[in-house]
Structure 1
């Protein structure tokens, strides 16, 4: 016997535990903790684009659409309202709209939400009610079809952000700033040989600057709070490529501060406790690190043209590795090394398990075979 899933509709804001503007990383983490209600989640995306909108099919009732750049919940679609696995009850302002016993019909929507403009769907600010299961209207339908049928059954409910008066919003637009984003990272400006500038919501908040060789572990905790994870560096396989051909002798073990909620790792010296390396993750679907970190919207900043240049050129996380290469080091591409992050995971097969590491002076790019940059490392 399934427990009833009760979800309240909040036009322009959310549905039940899902809030418009929440990151993909947070939503998937939430779904993992509610497998008794949501045992199967399908992730749909375009494998050739790092900015593809992502759809979570949460069977049987929900489709969650996430924006392509910021990976934030843009639109919630509720369907199969009468499916009893699990039973679904929709409420609005504590009044029941739909349940297994109560069918939601056109007349019920009008009574609860009031009049709206004519059309095949009933559209209100932040919420719409559709009479088509898949959202595609029947092109053969006559103009006098069921638009006046008061008993017409609602098949889907769609919740999205409210538009400003007169504003036309595209389904693939980014989510505008809203309260659920407060305290989250919206931009990381990468400065090679220096460090990273972190900007957070709400807009206008003070920039947090993390400097290589200068910022300390205590600075990170003061500015960013405690990390979600701390672990000590044990993998020294890259030291075989060091200039002196041997590992550095270090009596104090380096350690990582992992801020998965911001998509950033900081490697901290075990002796000086200052930041040695910074790793920023792009959270590209289909790669081994997908969903281990929230997307960090990094931008690599180039040199300003002169002292008065207030907007130096930048390359962003969604640009192809070849374009970023020409930006960092014009000329011949550097040699690359192959990395397979699934080597230690027997039986795991992913579309983009193999990546390449491109090393430059002070920065390393990790990119997929389709030229998507999945991580940037500063040192």
Structure 2
């Protein structure tokens, strides 16, 4: 697991922030379903509040566990689905560090205990909660929201069944205090906010017509096809064609140096030769398009997977590409047989080699050793396509060109 702390800003009072609690929707500026890039944008906009941030992920198998953005000073974290990179679950794990506002009332924080009595008074009656005898935790469920209460051992007799009523107060007059608050999509299973069932919490469905995680189908050496909008972008298309099909790019920049020209026997120019080619950057689509500076025609596409552990993580949203191999029959329809011969962001390098064959040694790409803490990547080339592969065997980028 990797943790990336941010520098603390002096003078920030730990635990002093107040965030609006929106059951089933989110907390503060963080909304369920938001892409991880949008969450980072919110953090960057308020650096004095979110001044210590840890990013955690499973480096060896990045699709196996959530990507987590944690705020240790404020006692909560955001859990993102590792495939879609959308926020699926918000957990307040230290209620004393975060004060929440619901309607016009406050709950939690360093000066206000979030007791069972307070929760019941603020959110109203609900169905009997669920008691986990093994963990000694009683969970109260509301739509899209759950509160977990530890039950002292001397009072476990109050809860015999999995679904059990719990008095607002124990026999000695005390009341349990919330140890964890969970916020999840209210359209999921009503009991998803309990214990191990948290793993079933899903990001809410995308809006109809949303371009996020749109499948981009690739016919090697020919074109891209965008499945939601139906656009076809072939090699050789002009900037005007791309603007018409995809809209205004997020950025445009000139390619400063053609570093690969040294590998071309037909081009004797020195490696430092300035290049007049230029990129259109579509960060929200996870896509770069390279135009020839003289002909102004598309010569390359670069597709980004946005995996944590890569130097470009959080620079692009994830491109949900489907690369069809050279035996592609001409139709973009996928069936069981063609799916075995396609390459997607979840395809590991060993699987790519099984599909395309061994291509020999890789070129090493460092991305600048001083600015890149994640180490080198490896670039493998085939006819019409090159794969940049991370040390864990996952694809970082796919570069498409015409041989």
Q: Normalising by the residue count of structure 1, what TM-score does the alignment of the two structures yield?
A: 0.84
Distance 2:207 2:331 in 1: 35
The within-5 A match list for 1:15-34 is 15-34=27-46
Asked if the contact 2:363–2:378 (Cα under 8 Å) also holds between the matched residues in 1, the reply is yes
Give the CA deviation at 1:38: 0.9
Residues 67 and 172 in structure 1, CA contact (< 8 A), matched pair in contact too: no
Is residue 384 of structure 2 the alignment partner of residue 374 of structure 1? no
Do the aligned residues in 2 keep the contact of 1:277 with 1:377 (CA within 8 Å)?
Answer: yes
Higher deviation after alignment, 106-115 or 26-35 = 106-115
Q: Please state how far the C-alpha of 1:252 moved relative to its aligned partner.
A: 8.2
CA contact (8 A) 1:22 1:181 kept: no
Unaligned runs of 5+ in 1: 200-204
RMSD across aligned positions (CA): 3.1
SS at structure 1 position matched to 2:114: coil
Quick one: distance in 2 between partners of 1:287 and 1:172?
A: 28
CA distance in 1, matches of 2:18, 2:320: 35
- The one of 101, 107, 132 aligned to 1:97: 107
2:303 maps to what in 1? 280
Distance in 2 (alpha carbons) for counterparts of 1:305 and 1:365 = 19
CA distance in 2, matches of 1:64, 1:361: 41
Please point out which of 121, 128, 136 is paired with 1:117: 128
5 Å-filtered alignment, 1:190-209, equals: 190-199=218-227, 205-209=228-232
For the residues of structure 2 that align with 1:92 and 1:260, how far apart are their CA atoms?
A: 35
Matches of 1:376 and 1:210, distance apart in 2: 16
1:36 equivalenced with 2:64 (yes/no): no
User: Does the C-alpha gap of structure 1 residues 142 and 319 become closer, same or farther in structure 2, counting only changes over 3 Å?
Assistant: same
SS at match of 1:356: strand
* Matching residue of 2:149: 131
Distance 1:308 1:220 in 2: 23
Shift of 1:116: 2.1
Q: Distance in 2 between matches of 1:81 and 1:54?
A: 22
Q: 5 Å matches for 1:239-278?
A: 239-247=261-269, 253-278=276-301
Map 1:174-323; keep pairs closer than 5 Å: 174-179=202-207, 182-199=210-227, 205-214=228-237, 216-247=238-269, 253-302=276-325, 310-311=333-334, 312-313=338-339, 314-323=342-351
Counterparts in 2 of 1:39-50, with a 5 A limit? Answer: 39-50=51-62
Distance 2:331 2:398 in 1: 28
State yes or no: 1:82 paired with 2:96: yes
Change (3 A) 1:143 1:319: farther
Change (3 A) 1:18 1:189: same
Matches within 5 A, 1:59-74: 59-60=72-73, 61-74=75-88
- When normalised by structure 2's length, the TM-score is 0.79
CA distance in structure 2 between the partners assigned to 1:307 and 1:276 by the alignment: 21
Q: Which has the higher contact order (CA 8 A, sep 6+)?
A: 1
Q: In the alignment, what sits opposite 1:58?
A: 71
The range that moved more, 110-119 or 273-282, is 110-119
Deviations 1:234-260 (A, max 9, x none): 121200112414359x99821111122
Q: Distance in 2 between matches of 1:219 and 1:141?
A: 71
Residue in structure 2 matched with residue 336 of structure 1 by the alignment: 362
Indicate conservation of the 8 Å contact 1:304/1:310, yes or no: no
CA offset digits 1:282-330 (Å, max 9, x no partner): 1121221222222222221236776788323322111211211222x23
Unaligned runs of 5+ in 2: 1-10, 131-137, 160-164, 170-174
Partners of 1:66 and 1:233 in 2: CA distance: 33
Give the deviation of 1:188 after TM superposition: 1.9
